[in-house]
Amino acid sequence: MASDPPYVTAGIEIHQQLDTGRKLFCRCPTLLRETKEHTGEFTRFLRATESEMGEIDRAALEELKHVRRFTYYTYDTTCLVEDDEEPPQPLNPEALEIALSVAKTMGMTPVRQVHPMRKLVIDGSNTCGFQRTALVALAGRLPDGTGIETICLEEDAAQRVVEGVFSLDRLGIPLVEITTAPDMHTPEAVQATAEYIGMVLRSTGRVKRGLGTIRQDVNISIAGGARVEIKGVQELDLIAEVVRREVMRQQSLLAIRDELRARGASVERGAQDVTATAARTGSRILTKAPRVLAVPLRGFTGLVGREIQPGRRLGSEMADYAKRCGVGGIFHTDELPAYGITAADVEILRAQAGAGEKDCLVLVAGTPDQAACAAEQVIRRAAMALEGVPEETRRMLPEGSTSYMRPLPGAARMYPETDVLPVTVDAAAWDRVPVPELLSDRAGRFVKEFGLDAGVARQIAFSERLPLFERAVAEGVNPRLAHRALIATPVELARKGTDLSRLTDDQYLAVLRAVSTGKAAKEAVPELLAALAAGKPEAEVLGSLAATLTPAELDVLVARVLKEREGFVKERGKAALGPLMGVVMAEVRGRVDGKLVSEALKRGMERMEK
- Binding footprint of Zn ion on the chain (CB under 5 A): 26, 28, 79, 81-82
CA distance 144 to 193: 9
Q: Which is nearer to Zn ion, 26 or 521 (CB)?
A: 26
Using an 8 Å Cβ cutoff, are 172 and 29 in contact?
A: no
- Strand 228-233 relative to strand 392-396: parallel, antiparallel, unpaired? parallel
Using an 8 Å Cβ cutoff, are 438 and 279 in contact?
A: no
Q: Which is nearer to Zn ion, 168 or 389 (CB)?
A: 168
Q: Which is nearer to Zn ion, 158 or 511 (CB)?
A: 158
Please state, as a whole number, how many other Cβ atoms lie within 10 Å of the Cβ of residue 374. Answer: 31
Q: Hey, is 28 helix, strand or coil?
A: coil
Please state, as a whole number, how many other Cβ atoms lie within 10 Å of the Cβ of residue 3. Answer: 4
| DSSP one-letter string for 309-333 | ETTEEHHHHHHHHHHTTT----EEG
Q: Which is nearer to Zn ion, 30 or 370 (CB)?
A: 30
Report CA torsion sign: 389, 392, 395, 396.
Answer: positive
CA-wise closest residue to 103 among 231, 4, 16, 229? 16
Tell the smallest beta-carbon distance from residue 20 to Zn ion (Å): 13
Tell the smallest beta-carbon distance from residue 172 to Zn ion (Å): 6
Tell the smallest beta-carbon distance from residue 152 to Zn ion (Å): 21
| DSSP one-letter string for 177-201 | EEEE-S-B-SHHHHHHHHHHHHHHH
CA distance 244 to 390: 18
Q: Which is nearer to Zn ion, 81 or 330 (CB)?
A: 81
525 backbone dihedrals φ, ψ, rounded to 5°: -55, -50
Tell the smallest beta-carbon distance from residue 28 to Zn ion (Å): 3
Tell the smallest beta-carbon distance from residue 86 to Zn ion (Å): 9
Triad 429, 433, 439: Cα angle to 5°: 175
CA distance 529 to 321: 52
Question: Could you tell me the maximum CA-CA distance found in the chain, to the nearest angstrom?
Answer: 110
Q: How would you classify residue 420: left for phi > 0, otherwise alpha for psi between -120 and 50, otherwise beta?
A: beta
Q: Which is nearer to Zn ion, 420 or 541 (CB)?
A: 420
Element (H, E) at 75: none
Q: Which is nearer to Zn ion, 81 or 243 (CB)?
A: 81
CA distance 604 to 592: 16
| DSSP one-letter string for 455-466 | HHHHHHHTSTTH
CA-wise closest residue to 92 among 151, 137, 33, 155? 155
Tell the smallest beta-carbon distance from residue 207 to Zn ion (Å): 20
Q: Which is nearer to Zn ion, 22 or 480 (CB)?
A: 22
- DSSP assignment letter at 408: P
Tell the smallest beta-carbon distance from residue 26 to Zn ion (Å): 3
Q: Which is nearer to Zn ion, 79 or 503 (CB)?
A: 79
Tell the smallest beta-carbon distance from residue 78 to Zn ion (Å): 6
User: Interhelix angle for 551-564 vs 577-588, to 10°?
Assistant: 130
- DSSP assignment letter at 123: S
Residues 509, 512, 514, 515, Cα dihedral to 10°:
180
Tell the smallest beta-carbon distance from residue 215 to Zn ion (Å): 22
Tell the smallest beta-carbon distance from residue 50 to Zn ion (Å): 31
Q: Which is nearer to Zn ion, 73 or 331 (CB)?
A: 73
Q: Which is nearer to Zn ion, 78 or 150 (CB)?
A: 78
Tell the smallest beta-carbon distance from residue 126 to Zn ion (Å): 13
Q: Which is nearer to Zn ion, 82 or 593 (CB)?
A: 82
Tell the smallest beta-carbon distance from residue 133 to Zn ion (Å): 18
